[in-house]
Chains A and B, each alone.
Chain A
Amino acid sequence: MTIMSEIRHAWIITVKEFRQLSRKKALMVPLFLFPIIMIIFFGYGMGGTVKNAPILIVNDDTGMASSSLVQEIGTYTSTYDGSPMFKVTYTKDMARAEAESKIDAGMYKAVLLIPHDYSDRLAKNEDVILTLLTDSSDTTTSGIIINFMIQLMSRSGPASLDVPNIYGNLEYLDFLTPAVIALTIFMGSVATTGSAIAGEKEDGTIVRILMTPVSRRSVILGKTLYQLILQIARAVILILAAYFLVGFHMNGSWLLVALVLVIFTLGGVGMGIVMSTRVDDMESFFQLNLLVTLPSMFVTGVFFPLSSVPNWMRYIAYCLPLTYANEAMRTIMIKGQGLSAISTDLIILSFFALITFGAGVHLFRREA
């Protein structure tokens, strides 16, 4: 059997897989639409940006410094759609207790108290403490406001609003998108590979294929080619959707993104094959799939940064390959870093691919 005929046979399998996919209209929704919906809903719903949040500024100071600070807060607009972040109400001589009651009543998301000696002390280069009261029942908004104020206060000179954000204006969508792509590719490659083989076992078609002169190597190669094309296509569609629909910023190399995704897809395909050899039908596969992929979705820091989870959860995350794919994708897409910054992630992902793919091929070849 020559290499050319192996590749030709593999390609026959690839075409067959695509033809079957084209017949499964219902599968298109979870494959292509679902990740886009996820980005839109999570991105907006979980509140990356805050706009027109009502805040109250109690300014007891009459100096220049405080009035420029107040103005900066009032005119600050978020990057996505040009709406101001805050809807500011100004007042003075309000006691803290009264300010708190306004928050309790839901009138303001936050109250900033500027002391009467703010400008004086700044001029003398002395410490000055501003008080920020927030509506902590809305953790998302208050978190964003606190972050914003901390950044505002930590500026060096009083003249300009410098939000020191080393990766540009990082918003939740930017954080979410790279990981959702990795998650999508992971769940997609495992589920579609595994369920296809489990289905072929169920209706006996895989046996017929294996009885033809086509080698098992070619069958696996054909299925893998199909997955690589399919998953990369999904990633491209997802990235385009993120760019046009929610204004996602890409800071790094597309080539590196492709490299990470190809290696990760191979791992996912391998895992799908391994799982399919453990079951005899589609339904059992989906149960097993749930068990394997669902924890990855919640533990690996797709939706929240790993730095914010307890240690025990972080240890679990470090055992799951998706964690490293998330890390690599964010490092490339947000931080715009190169190969050296993701080398550890790539090595771990390559090991994952090697192990699952090797095991998958071995188990698949051994099975009748």
Chain B
Amino acid sequence: MSNLEPIIEVKNLVKVFHSRGRTITAVDDVSFDVMEGEIFGMIGPNGAGKSTTFSMLTTLVKPSGGSIKVAGFDVYKQDDKIRPLIGIVPQKLSLYPDLTARENLELMGRLYDVPKDVMNEKIEYYLKLVGLSSHADRFTGGFSGGMKQRLSVICAVLHEPQIIFWDEPSTGLDPQTRQSIWKLAKKFNGEGKTLVFTTHYMEEADNLCDRVAVMNLGKMVALDSPESLKEKTGSSNLEETFINLTGEEVRD
């Protein structure tokens, strides 16, 4: 799927947090490119710096050092140019429980300045796509985890973003919902959208991603296609590869 044009360029990225007199380097000199049209995965144990990197890529948190360019725009100075081009599926599903599915979608559509008639068309289309048409006018507070996840995804794509950032797409989902989420991801990718994932699940990375960045303790320890990673570490599956690269110790 991917072209060879980088759509995201990350150079020497650093993020330092100061908390109660302690300095924590969450992301330590990380550089990588994401190519246009590829599915790019970031995997790593807890505390590896995935989420922090994700927040910086999505303009939510400013880097302490280094640079990020998304679609040619600098996250420091041009975050207002970047935001309309990206869609974000946050880890917390982030839906208003006291609004209906349709109202949640309409809110997102309006905030992204999608013209009203286009928006209504897209809402119908996407609700049908994820099988939520009959639940459109129900409050999302009563939705199941899988329904929330599907709604959360389509909230992020109403404005047809070039890049979709997706934080832990299938954490806590049943196998059926996970399959449908992956199918959705592949469909968006097939439409030419670039996808950037974070995940704990090796199976997910193996199944979906063109390339995987393995992060550990704030550093990037490997970046390659799932096949090459397995080959390099002499492992039969990505889970083994992951343990090989990041160690067996349990993280907190």
Pairs A–B under 8 Å by Cβ, sample size 27 = A1-B80, A5-B113, A12-B111, A16-B96, A16-B107, A19-B99, A19-B103, A20-B98, A23-B98, A23-B99, A203-B96, A204-B90, A204-B94, A205-B94, A207-B60, A207-B92, A207-B94, A208-B90, A208-B155, A210-B60, A211-B59, A211-B90, A213-B80, A213-B83, A213-B84, A214-B111, A368-B61
Chain B positions within 8 Å of A, measured between CB atoms, are 55, 58-61, 80, 83-84, 88, 90-99, 103, 107-108, 110-113, 139, 155
Q: Which 9 A-B pairs have the closest CB atoms?
A: A204-B92, A204-B94, A208-B94, A23-B98, A213-B83, A212-B111, A211-B88, A12-B110, A213-B84
Q: Is A9 an interface residue (CB 8 A)?
A: yes
Q: How many residues of chain A get a CB closer than 8 Å to chain B's CBs? A: 22
Q: Are A207 and B139 in contact (CB under 8 A)?
A: no
Q: How far is the CA of A9 from the CA of B59 in the complex (A)?
A: 19
Q: Which residues of B contact A124 (CB under 8 A)?
A: none
Q: Are B99 and A207 in contact (CB under 8 A)?
A: no
Contact A213:B103 (CB < 8 A) given known A1-B80, A203-B92, A205-B96: no
Q: Is A215 an interface residue (CB 8 A)?
A: yes
Residue of A nearest to B98 (CB): A23
Q: Which residues of B contact A19 (CB under 8 A)?
A: 99, 103
Q: How far is the CA of A211 from the CA of B61 in the complex (A)?
A: 10
Contact A368:B60 (CB < 8 A) given known A213-B112, A213-B113: yes
Q: Report whether over half of chain B's contact residues are helix, strand or loop; otherwise say mixed.
A: loop
User: Quick one: CB contact mask for A219-244 with B, threshold 8 Å, 1 for yes?
Assistant: 00000000000000000000000000
Contact A20:B96 (CB < 8 A) given known A1-B80, A208-B155, A215-B80: yes
Residue of A nearest to B103 (CB): A19
Q: How far is the CA of A19 from the CA of B98 in the complex (A)?
A: 9
Q: Are B92 and A24 in contact (CB under 8 A)?
A: no
Q: Chain A nearest CB: distance from B106 CB in Å?
A: 9
Q: Is A209 an interface residue (CB 8 A)?
A: yes
Residue of A nearest to B155 (CB): A208
Q: Chain A nearest CB: distance from B107 CB in Å?
A: 6
Q: How far is the CA of A239 from the CA of B107 in the complex (A)?
A: 35
Q: Are B94 and A203 in contact (CB under 8 A)?
A: yes
Q: How far is the CA of A208 from the CA of B91 in the complex (A)?
A: 10
Q: Are A208 and B88 in contact (CB under 8 A)?
A: yes
Q: How far is the CA of A5 from the CA of B108 in the complex (A)?
A: 15
Q: Are B99 and A20 in contact (CB under 8 A)?
A: yes
Contact A209:B111 (CB < 8 A) given known A19-B99, A23-B98, A368-B55: yes
Q: Chain B nearest CB: distance from A193 CB in Å?
A: 17
Q: How far is the CA of A211 from the CA of B90 in the complex (A)?
A: 9
Q: Which residues of A contact B97 (CB under 8 A)?
A: 203
Q: Are A212 and B98 in contact (CB under 8 A)?
A: no
Q: Which residues of B contact A23 (CB under 8 A)?
A: 98-99, 139
Q: How far is the CA of A62 from the CA of B112 in the complex (A)?
A: 89
In the complex, given contacts A12-B107, A16-B107, what are 8 additional A-B residue pairs having Cβ atoms less than 8 angstroms apart?
A23-B98, A24-B98, A203-B94, A204-B93, A208-B88, A208-B94, A212-B112, A213-B112
Q: Chain A nearest CB: distance from B82 CB in Å?
A: 9
- Residues 337 to 368 of chain A near chain B (Cβ within 8 Å): 368
Residue of A nearest to B139 (CB): A23
Q: How far is the CA of A141 from the CA of B92 in the complex (A)?
A: 59
Residue of A nearest to B61 (CB): A368
Q: Chain B nearest CB: distance from A367 CB in Å?
A: 10
